[in-house]
Structure 1
Amino acid sequence: MKKHSDDDALNPNATRQSSPSSRSRWTYDIHHDPPIRHVPELIMLGYDELRSASPLHEHEHPGCYEFVLIERGQASWELEGVLYRSQAGDLFHSRPGEKHRGGFNAIEPCKFWWLIVAAPQSQGWLRLSSEECMIMQHMIEQLPRAIPVGLSPVESFKKLRKALLNQTPEQSIAVRNSLTDILLAFLQPGIGNRTIAIDLLRQYDILIAKMSNEPEWRPSIDELASFAGVSSSHFYRTFQEYTGEAPITFSERLRVMEACRQLAETADSVTDISHRLGYQSSQHFATVFKRFVGATPSQWRNDKKNLTAEQ
């Protein structure tokens, strides 16, 4: 098992080191760590905490499913030309052999857990009966690409990690049970742990729509709280619980995503786009943009053009 910082998200061959302030990662990987007896289904497990965007280019996992649960923040994923957004409490998954990547070829700043597990077989998978294997396989095949499952599976992830670290005679039993608990939490999601009033959630949806439609808008926390009709402290806590991010970070992310759209769809200069979105300077814009996307606006635009030309 490894705990380190590096630049290669979800890359089993990652070896490069970077500043601990930019990333924290822990992984279990059968390519480098001893396999767990009687649990050959578990291929990889890990968590990443990114404080700046990290590259994640197109890749696949033959014969395996990959599940990614966002614990904090947001991330986007691209699969078969479709972009999927996920935030805290959301699950994204890819199926065996499907090529996928981070949205815009990067994972945005966030904390997430990820699991790679061999696809169910006709019998013996996780010591289940043939009928149970078929049921699990059917349920996984019906699972939406991105779905809210809440944060309760995080505890199961932690239990699985603890079981992997504790080399006891009953280790394989603990690992298999924790792995089964995680999969069932994905396949039978509860209502999560959000306790925000429904009418306040509606206000937040209206507010988020306004922030998306007016990316140049730069309100203070007090202004946002007033718009939602709650106190500033209550707004900050519940908005972060709902979106997985602090309000200002969430707003900045929306602004950067709008910048990506304008960089891709217009020939406007980086300076013009930065001013249009309310940045005081193109240098500040480039710094914020790189933190979320992993490249400067000019680099991202050139990469996008090259990718389009190749297609």
Structure 2
Amino acid sequence: MPDSQERNAVVKDVHGNHFLRDARWTYTTEDNGSIPLVPEFVMLGSDDIRKAIPLDDHVHHGCFEFAFVERGIASWELEGTVYKTQAGDVFHARPGELHRGGFSIIEPCKLWWMILTAPHHDGWLRLPPGESRWIEHSLEDLPRVVQIGFKAVESFKQLRKGLEKTNEALRGMMVRHAIHNLLLQLLQPTEARAVIAEDLLRKFDLLIARMEQEPEWRPSVQELADAASVSQSHFYHTFQEYTGQPPITFIERLRIKEACRKLAETRDSVTDISHSLGYPSSQHFATVFKRFMGVTPTQWRNRST
């Protein structure tokens, strides 16, 4: 069987940072060799991140990287711009683009990532010339973040199953088929958020914008449901489907993200930051921060400087 890697212990990332990852799995052609008849495939990985982890500047020469968020939220920095993603979103970096996690971290979330060589010849992924050129041009115009919905999870799982096959012919067919499906879902998304009414989606977006602008705001689920003009139970379930997180958890993570920004970009004391974000005390703030980030606010600030 191919030498894929899966572990639930303290591990070290490519930059030498140690951290705890839960249920991490990776497959790289560097370690396992190329897939027969799919030389375009470079890497697949999945992570269920329980504590925020470092993700510093990195680049993939000649390759696209696609990061899909299955659960939670994550942000990415590229050329001075921060891109926010939530459950069902894909962020991509093009060949040669230096990118990193927002504030050089990835928040607790569950995600998949895939690295492919850029389309550069007819017959890429064994497609006819017209189809490979269409993919090449479509990737050039692709928005940095695309909502593709949750059907992609099954395609990623099928790709993993294909990589773990021992029969080379079957492995190549399954890997290529799964990649084709993922590219179609990315370039021609159909599921997106159609299961939630458009007017409710707009209300969600307005509420999320307020959460970001007023991180000290601490509404109850009932208050949020009233603002969206739906029942509390309907709000809870649809908001979780939309963002991948329960409402209060989503708000808390946005608040902690703002705390990270303040710790990195200002000289405000931890006490002042905690008060500005509506925490009753700096001790309570430190407890919540460590639950999400794995370190105290002071430790995080020292590591970021």
- Residue 253 of structure 1 aligns with an amino acid whose one-letter code is R
1:148 matched to which residue of 2? 147
> What pairs with 1:115-130 in structure 2 (closer than 5 Å)?
115-130=114-129
2:51 matches 1:79: no
Counterpart contact for 1:194–1:241, Cα < 8 Å = no
1:309 matched to which residue of 2? none
Count the aligned residue pairs: 301
Shift of 1:14: 8.1
Shift of 1:15: 10
Cα displacement string for residues 194-220 of structure 1 (whole angstroms, at most 9, x for unaligned residues): 412222223222322332333222222
Shift of 1:286: 2.5
2:2 matches 1:3: no
List runs of 5+ in structure 1 lacking aligned partners: 307-311
1:171 matched to which residue of 2? 171
Shift of 1:52: 1.3
Normalised to the residue count of structure 1, the TM-score between the two structures is: 0.87
List runs of 5+ in structure 2 lacking aligned partners: none
Counterpart contact for 1:8–1:55, Cα < 8 Å = no
SS at match of 1:65: strand
Relative to 1, partners in 2 of residues 1:167 and 1:15: Cα closer, same or farther, differing over 3 Å? farther
> What pairs with 1:41-120 in structure 2 (closer than 5 Å)?
41-120=40-119
Cα displacement string for residues 31-81 of structure 1 (whole angstroms, at most 9, x for unaligned residues): 222432111111101111111101111111111110011111110000111
Relative to 1, partners in 2 of residues 1:56 and 1:13: Cα closer, same or farther, differing over 3 Å? closer
> What pairs with 1:255-294 in structure 2 (closer than 5 Å)?
255-293=255-293
Counterpart contact for 2:64–2:117, Cα < 8 Å = yes
Normalised to the residue count of structure 2, the TM-score between the two structures is: 0.89
**4+ residue stretches of structure 1 with deviation over 6 A?**
12-17
C-alpha separation between the residues in 2 aligned to 1:138 and 1:301? 42
- Residue 3 of structure 1 aligns with an amino acid whose one-letter code is E
Relative to 1, partners in 2 of residues 1:223 and 1:104: Cα closer, same or farther, differing over 3 Å? same
Shift of 1:295: 4.8
- Residue 140 of structure 2 aligns with an amino acid whose one-letter code is E
Counterpart contact for 1:51–1:109, Cα < 8 Å = yes
SS at match of 1:31: helix
SS at match of 1:259: helix
Worse overlay, 295-304 or 274-283: 295-304
SS at match of 1:123: coil
Counterpart contact for 1:107–1:293, Cα < 8 Å = no
- Residue 25 of structure 2 aligns with an amino acid whose one-letter code is W
Relative to 1, partners in 2 of residues 1:222 and 1:273: Cα closer, same or farther, differing over 3 Å? same
Worse overlay, 41-50 or 253-262: 253-262
C-alpha separation between the residues in 2 aligned to 1:120 and 1:213? 40
2:213 matched to which residue of 1? 213
C-alpha separation between the residues in 2 aligned to 1:106 and 1:295? 12
Shift of 1:257: 2.7
1:182 matched to which residue of 2? 182
C-alpha separation between the residues in 1 aligned to 2:11 and 2:122? 35
C-alpha separation between the residues in 2 aligned to 1:49 and 1:130? 38
Relative to 1, partners in 2 of residues 1:298 and 1:256: Cα closer, same or farther, differing over 3 Å? same
- The Cα RMSD (Å) is 2.4
Shift of 1:88: 0.8
Relative to 1, partners in 2 of residues 1:219 and 1:110: Cα closer, same or farther, differing over 3 Å? same
SS at match of 1:226: helix
Worse overlay, 250-259 or 200-209: 200-209
SS at match of 2:189: coil
SS at match of 2:32: coil
C-alpha separation between the residues in 2 aligned to 1:136 and 1:195? 27
- Residue 288 of structure 1 aligns with an amino acid whose one-letter code is V
1:35 matched to which residue of 2? 34
Shift of 1:303: 5.2
Relative to 1, partners in 2 of residues 1:255 and 1:6: Cα closer, same or farther, differing over 3 Å? same
